[in-house]
């Protein structure tokens, strides 16, 4: 931990030396939240979000807060180490083209529903109204990348091996669940004359209520859907790579970790709901993934179980500027030169793509230094080629 603020009802423990004003204001709101316990933790990639800062961790009792999970429920990372030690650039170009032809990106979906066995099972649709409503659409979205900061990347590890990494979430079904229950929470909080100011954007649902239990079921479904989607994209990406590698190759078990969810855990002797919004679980010996920005290194890590962070760490580098600001202010030629000089097959084609340029993000090496008490680095991964939506 680098800094601690003690001016609010609860302390704010920070793994960064400076935080933007909007994110700090949101953290202060969390620290004064009537259902929050112990303290608030801010990871080194912290920046402003909706209601709760990205890179924030809050433990509550009695309630669960949809906006403290966010709209991309279950968004996370998966990575696979292969036995390959090299891929020639001509093959790399064809591989990336092959992956793009098999995995829809951006707003694109599959034209047909995918095999229903790829979808998480729906045990009781009556208790999941949003999932029931969105299920058919989701069968065409499973195994699709989406846009924003989601990516598929081929990397060379410090272990000498080629790795494949996927960052994706729950697509529209996650957003629909998030919006539905946040609106419900706002409506109910007004009815109950909630002690939480509406301006906090942190309306809650009691855990033991019918609405709270319904949200928890649908949230868990979205987490499972996001994992199923990542697994499918990883499988299809590896199949494309194998089609260009005579004799094939071996793969290690897939590493998977989510960073937008709420979990029932025990901390400081208390049974709590830990809300991780853009934060990754880093309990003792948990293997996780911390990606860099486009063109920056990523890391396979092992958690240290630091109780001060509620056994959490950052989920990435973290933004230094918003998407519109990045498009407006970054130098396209300079950003392209940085990527081209590294020989990376990247996804920046024009000014609009600058929203995901490295210049819009924090320095991942500094982010890793700031959380040395949260994780150990197992493997450092350098980018070779990236696909973005």
SS3 297: coil
**Contact, 379 vs 158, CB < 8 A?**
yes
Instruction: Please identify, in words, the CATH class of the domain defined by 3-320+361-388.
Output: alpha beta
Give the Cα separation of 254 and 249 in Å (integer). 15
Structural domain spans, the chain? 3-320+361-388
Question: Is 315 among the catalytic positions?
Answer: yes
Q: Token pair for residue 170?
A: 């729950």
**Contact, 166 vs 237, CB < 8 A?**
yes
Q: Spot the catalytic one: 47, 150, 259, 315.
A: 315
Going residue by residue through the chain (389 aa), what tens digit of pLDDT does each one get?
Answer: 999 999 999 999 999 998 999 999 999 999 999 999 999 999 999 999 999 999 999 999 999 999 999 999 999 999 999 999 999 999 999 999 999 999 999 999 999 999 999 999 887 666 899 999 999 999 999 999 999 999 999 999 999 999 999 999 999 999 999 999 999 999 999 999 999 999 999 999 999 999 999 999 999 999 999 999 999 999 999 999 999 998 899 999 999 999 999 999 999 999 999 999 999 999 999 999 999 988 899 999 999 999 999 999 999 999 998 899 999 999 999 999 989 999 999 888 899 899 999 899 999 999 999 999 999 999 999 999 999 97
**Contact, 371 vs 44, CB < 8 A?**
yes
CA 16, 22, 23, 26 dihedral sign is: positive
Can you point out the beta strands (E) in the chain? Answer: 3-5, 12-14, 36-47, 54-60, 63-64, 76-81, 151-157, 162-168, 205-206, 255-258, 260-267, 270-277, 279-281, 287-290, 298-303, 312-314, 375-388
């Amino acid at each position: 931990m680098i800094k601690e603020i003690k001016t609010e009802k609860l302390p704010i423990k920070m793994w960064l030396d400076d935080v933007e004003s909007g994110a700090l204001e949101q953290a202060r709101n969390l620290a004064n939240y009537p259902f929050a316990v112990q303290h608030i933790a801010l990871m080194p990639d912290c920046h402003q979000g909706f209601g709760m800062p990205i890179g924030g961790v809050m433990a509550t009792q009695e309630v669960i807060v949809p906006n403290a999970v966010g709209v991309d429920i279950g968004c996370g990372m998966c990575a696979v180490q292969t036995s390959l030690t090299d891929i020639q650039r001509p093959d790399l170009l064809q591989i990336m083209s092959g992956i793009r032809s098999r995995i829809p990106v951006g707003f694109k979906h599959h034209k047909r529903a995918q095999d229903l066995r790829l979808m998480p099972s729906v045990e009781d649709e009556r208790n999941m109204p949003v999932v029931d409503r969105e299920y058919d659409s989701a069968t065409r979205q499973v195994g699709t990348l989406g846009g924003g900061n989601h990516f598929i990347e081929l990397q060379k590890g410090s272990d000498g091996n080629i790795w494949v990494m996927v960052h994706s979430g729950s697509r529209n079904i996650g957003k629909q669940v998030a919006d539905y229950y946040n609106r419900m929470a706002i409506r109910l909080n007004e009815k109950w004359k909630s002690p939480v100011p509406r301006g906090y954007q942190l309306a809650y649902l009691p855990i033991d209520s019918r609405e709270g239990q319904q949200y928890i079921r649908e949230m868990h479904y979205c987490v499972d859907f996001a994992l199923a989607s990542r697994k499918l994209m990883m499988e299809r990406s590896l199949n494309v790579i194998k089609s260009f590698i005579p004799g094939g190759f071996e793969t290690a078990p897939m590493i998977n970790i989510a960073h937008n969810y709420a979990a029932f855990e025990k901390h400081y002797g208390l049974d709590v709901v830990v809300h991780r919004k853009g934060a990754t679980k880093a309990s003792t010996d948990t293997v996780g993934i911390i990606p860099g920005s486009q063109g920056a290194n990523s890391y396979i890590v092992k958690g240290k179980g630091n109780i001060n962070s509620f056994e959490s760490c950052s989920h990435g580098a973290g933004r230094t500027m918003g998407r519109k600001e990045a498009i407006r202010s970054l130098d396209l030629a300079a950003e392209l030169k940085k990527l081209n000089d590294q020989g990376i097959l990247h996804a920046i084609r024009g000014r609009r793509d600058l929203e995901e340029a490295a210049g819009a993000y924090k320095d991942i090496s500094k982010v890793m230094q700031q959380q040395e008490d949260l994780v150990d680095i197992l493997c450092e991964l350098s980018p070779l080629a990236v696909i973005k939506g």
